[in-house]
Amino acid sequence: MREIRFALMFLMALAAAFPAASQAPQPSSDPAALLQVTPKDRVLGQTDAPITIVEYASMTCPHCAHFANDVLPELKQKWIDTGKAKLVMRPFPLDQVALRAEVLARCLPPNRYYPMIETLFKTQEKWAIAQDWRPALERTARLAGISSKEFDACLGNKGLEDEAVQSRLTASTQLDVTGTPTFFINGKKFEGPPTAQALDEVLSGLAKS
């Protein structure tokens, strides 16, 4: 779990940069309602799967990359591909670079979102810590078939920026999310280590109930 550093400063900077998000109507404070799947969510798996895993993640978080690269494939094979569970990844950007990468992925059609996320996490070390992140991120985008014109248009999408910022604000203030990745399984916060074994045990328990 990566703890957020300078969280208040970052939130203030985001609010100043994207005032529309901070001024937007606040969503319900009911945790159960906040964790319901919405039309804006990107769903991996069957939408009617009985178990819902909500993950708050940052594209520059190395622990999120570890989960995506090393843990998710096993869970996907056993739980998501079989229709037993679905994953909803929501943005919790830890910095401006993470915000831009998330906006890039969300700008694409829904069926291209998770393939783009997979590419970003697999190549995280090449763009997330680059001294000049934009050309590094654009090179990664080209691997996913995104043209320079499409790349520029996506990064300039202010509506998606506001949505990503609001996602973090809501999670931190109303769901007590303090780091990434943070998981909620069928509305309950998962407190254990995000390993395949630990998550499998929880999912197996829910499947039996």
Instruction: Report pLDDT for 28.
Output: 54
Residue 183 lies in a domain: yes
Instruction: Report pLDDT for 185.
Output: 97
- For 12-26, 98-112, 121-135, 165-179, which range has the lowest pLDDT when averaged over its residues? 12-26
Nearest to 63 by CA among 31, 38, 98, 36: 98
Give the percent of the chain with pLDDT over 90. 82
pLDDT tens-digit map of 23-72? 444 455 688 899 999 999 999 999 999 999 999 999 999 999 999 999 99
Residue 205 lies in a domain: no
Residue 51 lies in a domain: yes
Instruction: Report pLDDT for 162.
Output: 97
Residue 28 lies in a domain: no
Three-class secondary structure assignment of the chain: CEECCCHHHHHHHHHHHCHHHHHCCCCCCCHHHHCCCCCCCCEECCCCCCEEEEEEECCCCHHHHHHHHHHHHHHHHHHHCCCCEEEEEEECCCCHHHHHHHHHHHHCCHHHHHHHHHHHHHCHHHHCCCCCHHHHHHHHHHHCCCCHHHHHHHHCCHHHHHHHHHHHHHHHHHCCCCEECEEEECCEEECCCCCHHHHHHHHHHHHHC
Structural domain total, the chain: 1
Q: What is the dihedral of CA 19, 107, 96, 10, to 10 degrees?
A: 40
Which CATH number goes with the domain that contains 58? Answer: 3.40.30.10
Supply the range of the domain harboring residue 121: 2-21+40-195
| pLDDT confidence tier of residue 144, bands split at 50, 70 and 90 | confident
- The more confidently predicted of residues 14 and 29 is 29
Residue 204 lies in a domain: no
Residue 189 lies in a domain: yes
Residue 8 lies in a domain: yes
Q: Mean pLDDT of all residues in the chain?
A: 89
Residue 144 lies in a domain: yes
* CA 114 – CA 70 distance, rounded (Å): 15
pLDDT tens-digit map of 69-103? 999 999 999 999 999 999 999 999 999 999 999 99
